[in-house]
Structure 1
Amino acid sequence: MDEVVALYDDGGRPDGSAPRSVMRAQNLRHAATGVIVRDPYGRVYVHRRTPTKDVYPAYWDFTAGGVVLAGEDPLVAARRELAEELGVTSELESLGESDYADMHTSYHAFRYLTTWDGPITPQPEEVAYGAWLSIERLLERMGDPEVLFMPDSRALFGDWLRARVAERGEPHEGWDTWAIEVEGRWLDRAPRFADAEVQLRNEVRLMPRLAPLLPLEVPVPIVLDESPLRVRHRLVTGELATAAPLTRDDGKRLGEFLRALHDMPANIYVESGIPEATAARAELLATLERMLHRVVPLLPADQQEPGRALLRRIALRTPATLVHGDLAAHHVTWSEGRLVGVLDWKDARVADPAVDLAWPLYGTPERFAEAVATSYGVTDDELGRALDWHRLSPWYEAMWGLGPGGADVVDSGVQGILALLDVRKTA
């Protein structure tokens, strides 16, 4: 059936109608809609048009839409076309109106945006293939002269795409990853080293299983781009707890969180790729061996034996369970007067649960630490092991300094080691 299409004048107002075939044959100015579909991680649905389309067959496109029918409201038309083409029925946000014309088509455009968290069901007559792409990858494809993209979508939405890419903060460089805030909604992370890539991929597999079972908010990342690897998660609520006045109630909440984490059934995490107990222990022993030969010689002679004794105690076999592995104030978030989330799970592994108790028990205010110990149910043995893990933390800083960190980081690490080896300052 030949649809009757709404024609529009140069001022963007309805101006009669015509059968679709006539509109195409005479390239009459009409009205059309275009909708960018994003998922909850900000990716855009990109699809290839079928070879049977009447204009630009087999071209790539990143919008869904079509002509406005005679007497049809543009918003209704956009919803109709979106549901028909992709099976998407979410609410639309207007991106304004614009105009486009070339030798094949001329129309007044009604532009929209939507976010969709459901399945895509492409219309076989309209869509040959589709996939989710990050905006950066989409712009790369659009810049490739070998990839044919719809010229009207380029013209009408290109500036909007580029503006989204520009909405990012300053990169933060960590020891093994870099991170950057995107559009005030997401955090992107990428590995600096090959080992960190493995860790990030393990985190992507682990967190969807873990998040629903924990009493505090945690990130649930996805792989945004494969090569080079980039993962993204929605920003966890709150600010870093580095300057937060941690309260007794915060300690209770973190203790309950750690109890839930450490009691997690093994079937939740065994298939996630995180290092299991044997592999994690082998890695720990190798790290302790490097510390023995590289860090201990940096200590004053009278502190070298206490340093070796600490490494021997850490090397002893202990109970093992799933741990966060790097719990500290800069990986905890705080909002509206309370602790609300735990970040950065790339170091998760099966290891001594006292690893996660070190900072809460020995690096926080007394009221907080007491509440953690009570709500968690800490044993005397765990108290002692947690203290040793607390003492070990600056050794990692010194090791990092001996690598890419530099001499100043080494000096800082050694000073931290000496301070914590003094039992009177920490026990």
Structure 2
Amino acid sequence: MADDEVVALYDEAGQVSGSAPRSVMRGRNLRHAASSVVVRDPLGRVYLHRRTTTKDVYPGLLDLAAGGVVLAGEDPALGAVREVEEELGVSGVRLEPLGVADYADAHTRYRAFRFVVTWDGPIRWQPEEVSWGEWVTVEELVRRFDDEADSIVPDSVAVWSQIVRGWHADRVPLRQGWDSVTTLVEQRWVDRTARRPEVGTALLAEAVLLPAIADGLPLEVPRPVVLDREPLRVRHVVVPGEAVDPARLTSADGEVFAAFLAALHATPLPLAADAGCPSAVDDHAGRAAQVERFRHVVLPLLPPEHRATGEALLERVGAVGEQALCHGDLVTEHVLAHEGRLSGVIDWGDARVTDPALDLAWALNATSPAFAETVASTVDDDTGARARAWWALAPWFDAHRGATYPEAVDGGDPSGVLAHDLEVVAARLLSWRERDDGA
């Protein structure tokens, strides 16, 4: 671009009032217009770049926006398209307009036409304009606004600060689980951080496993990416849908769910191992340890008439046979529906190699008859029986947690919560015994 290009001049009302060579505009600090384009990636990070030391204003400083002066006779939107392509190689995607802002200091006075664009392609620097760049989170950008303001061009901070801080503030806590803290970000992404150090291993495994298997599954699943390492935070695009109503699930839903499980359980085990998921060997050790914990903590708390059935159940689930990659926690809140049909499966923190019947426990025992019967028709009798055993075992986890960590019980009287959990354990045992003669 010519050094003395002719630029449009703007008056205080934001209207074109004439034109002047760029050198005159700079020398006299005439009010003009400029495009200002923030580039974000599909996970919401912002591209922060360093201006070359040859720039005629703010040389060598960091900038969160690409852009430049609006030329005489040029539509500001077209100027924005031109500038972001020239500076960063971003092209062929829609720029979203975010209004205008005015800026003035001793170096420059202009009306900024703001745009934001999402870009998942390569960044290509214009050598005359950009010397370096990186993707940064919105949190990191706000931190730099607050702690390193002198390193960033002041006009972009002024023009974009309110919007960027709005992005930063747009966070809504979601239903919290035992293992991770989950937050909805800008209504577009889900962030998860580990409540305990060992949960971080599972989050890292998800970030490797799910992108590798997602395309082969008939339901949408998260595709997490590690956003921060210290502390660990993973982010994925929101999976559309709401938790299903089990009573309204249809036979057609059952066909889709069965196809999903068939595809998931056919995942090659080396792929799961490469992702860092608990392995078949871990399953042997894990089941044995879990059975012993339940035997020593939960079983003695049951009424005497239920203990023999409880012992039989522990023997049943402790026996390791068929193994496959499993979700590990398929329950109502983790299966989503959108516009009347199944849409996705979320919360993969328990993904591991184990008994595939575990993934059938909820589907065969806590859903509508039409759905359960359709899913059941795709598995053999032994698998169905194992699924019933896993369903009978499910409340033992809450009872064990309540007995071992009463301080972690949310609200109410911990002893009352534990008593309720034990009642559910006993009811499931009774149902299992009547159905499978487990005692």
Query: Shared topology, TM-score over 0.5?
Result: yes
Distance 1:412 1:95 in 2: 53
Q: 1:416 aligns with which of 410, 420, 424?
A: 424
* Aligned-residue offset at 1:424: 5.3
Distance across 2 between alignment mates of 1:286 and 1:53: 65
Counterpart CA distance in 1 for 2:362 and 2:248 is 15
SS in 2 for 1:53: coil
For residues 147 and 262 of structure 1, the distance between their equivalents in structure 2, rounded to whole angstroms, comes to 54
Provide structure 1 residue ranges, at least 5 long, that are not aligned to the other structure: none
| Residue identity opposite 2:105 in structure 1 | D
Which one is further off, 386-395 or 165-174? Answer: 165-174
Counterpart position of 1:78: 80
Asked if 1:139 is matched to 2:165, the reply is no
**1:220 corresponding residue in structure 2:** 223
1:391 equivalent in structure 2:
392
2:31 to 29, 32, 35: 29
Letter in 2 for 1:395: W
Q: Distance in 1 between matches of 2:65 and 2:434?
A: 62
Pairwise mapping of residues 16-165 of structure 1 onto structure 2 (< 5 A)? Answer: 16-89=18-91, 90-145=93-148, 148-165=151-168
The percent of aligned pairs where both chains have the same amino acid is 50
Contact 2:182 2:193 (8 Å CA) reproduced: yes
Stretches of 4+ aligned residues off by more than 4 angstroms: 424-427
Is the CA contact (8 Å cut-off) linking 1:242 and 1:330 kept in structure 2?
no
Measured against aligned partners, the alpha-carbon deviations of 1:239-282 in whole angstroms (never above 9, x if no partner) come to: 10146511111111111111111112335433211111112332
2:280 is the counterpart of 1:277: yes
The residue aligned with 2:379 is 378
State the alpha-carbon separation in 1 of the partners of residues 424 and 308 from structure 2.
Answer: 16
1:176 deviates by: 1.0
Find the aligned partners of 1:349 and 1:399 in 2 and give their Cα distance. 21
Q: Are 1:368 and 2:371 an aligned pair? A: yes
**Partners of 1:34 and 1:202 in 2: how far apart?**
39
Describe the superposition over 1:192-226 as per-residue Cα deviations: whole angstroms up to 9, x where unpaired. Answer: 11122111111011111111000111111112233
User: Distance in 2 between the 1:249 and 1:184 partners?
Assistant: 30
- The worse-fitting range, judged by mean Cα deviation, of 158-167 and 355-364 is 158-167
Cα distance in structure 1, aligned partners of 2:286 and 2:62: 47
Q: CA deviation at 1:84?
A: 0.9
**CA deviation vs aligned residue, 1:151-201 (integer Å, no higher than 9, x gap):** 111111111112223333344321111212222222222211112211111
Structure 1 counterpart of 2:14, one-letter code: G
Query: How far 1:300 moved relative to its partner?
Result: 1.7
Aligned pairs (5 A) from 1:283-302: 283-302=286-305
Cα shift readout 1:336-370 (whole Å, capped 9, x = no counterpart): 22222111111111111111011111122222111
- The residue number in structure 2 matching 1:10 is 12
8 A Cα contact 2:29 2:107, kept in partner = yes
Partners of 2:310 and 2:429 within 8 A in 1: yes
Distance 1:334 1:115 in 2: 27
> Contact between 1:397 and 1:409, CA under 8 Å: does it hold in 2?
no
Shift in CA distance, 243/360, structure 1 to aligned 2, threshold 3 Å: closer
**Which has the larger displacement, 248-257 or 9-18?**
9-18
Q: Work out whether 1:329 is the aligned partner of 2:337.
A: no
**Superposed CA offset, 1:103-148 (max 9, x none):** 1111111111111121222223322222222222211221113761
Q: Which moved more, 1:91-100 or 1:142-151?
A: 142-151
Shift of the alpha carbon at 1:330? 0.8
Q: Per the alignment, in what secondary structure is the counterpart of residue 95 of structure 1?
A: strand
1:379 is matched by which residue type in structure 2? D
Give, in whole Å, the separation in 2 of the partners of 1:74 and 1:227: 41
Query: Quick one: distance in 1 between partners of 2:434 and 2:104?
Result: 75
| TM-score using structure 1 length | 0.94
What code does the residue aligned with 1:154 have?
A: V
Output the CA distance in 2 between the equivalents of 1:93 and 1:244: 42
SS for the counterpart of 2:171 is coil
Structure 2 vs 1, CA of residues 11 and 208 (structure 1 numbering), >3 Å: closer, same or farther? same
CA distance in 1, matches of 2:165, 2:265: 44
Measured after TM superposition, the shift of residue 301 of structure 1 is 2.2
- Residues 185-224 of structure 1: matches in 2 within 5 Å? 185-224=188-227
Q: Is the 8 A contact 1:419 1:425 kept in 2?
A: no
Contact 1:244 1:334 in 2 (8 A): no
Superposition CA RMSD, Å: 1.9
Q: Give unpaired runs (5+ residues) of structure 2.
A: none
After the TM superposition, which residues 173-192 of structure 1 pair with which residues of structure 2 at under 5 Å, given as runs?
173-192=176-195
Task: Determine if contact 1:141/1:147 at 8 Å carries over to the other structure.
Answer: no
The alignment's TM-score, normalised by the length of structure 2, stands at 0.92
The Cα shift of 1:332 comes to 0.3
Give the C-alpha shift of residue 381 in structure 1: 1.5
- In structure 2, how many angstroms separate the alpha carbons of the residues matched to 1:264 and 1:48? 44
Q: How many residues align?
A: 425
* Contact 1:34–1:112 (CA under 8 A) maintained in structure 2: yes
Letter in 1 for 2:63: D
Aligned partner of 1:314 among 305, 312, 317: 317
Alignment of 1:395-406 (within 5 A): 395-401=396-402, 402-403=404-405, 404-405=408-409, 406=414
SS of 2:313's partner is helix
For 2:146 and 2:288, the matched residues in 1 are separated by 49
Letter in 1 for 2:429: L
Bigger mean CA offset, 393-402 vs 51-60: 51-60
Give the secondary-structure state (helix, strand or coil) at the position aligned to 2:248.
coil
8 A Cα contact 2:227 2:235, kept in partner: yes
Distance 1:185 1:308 in 2: 46
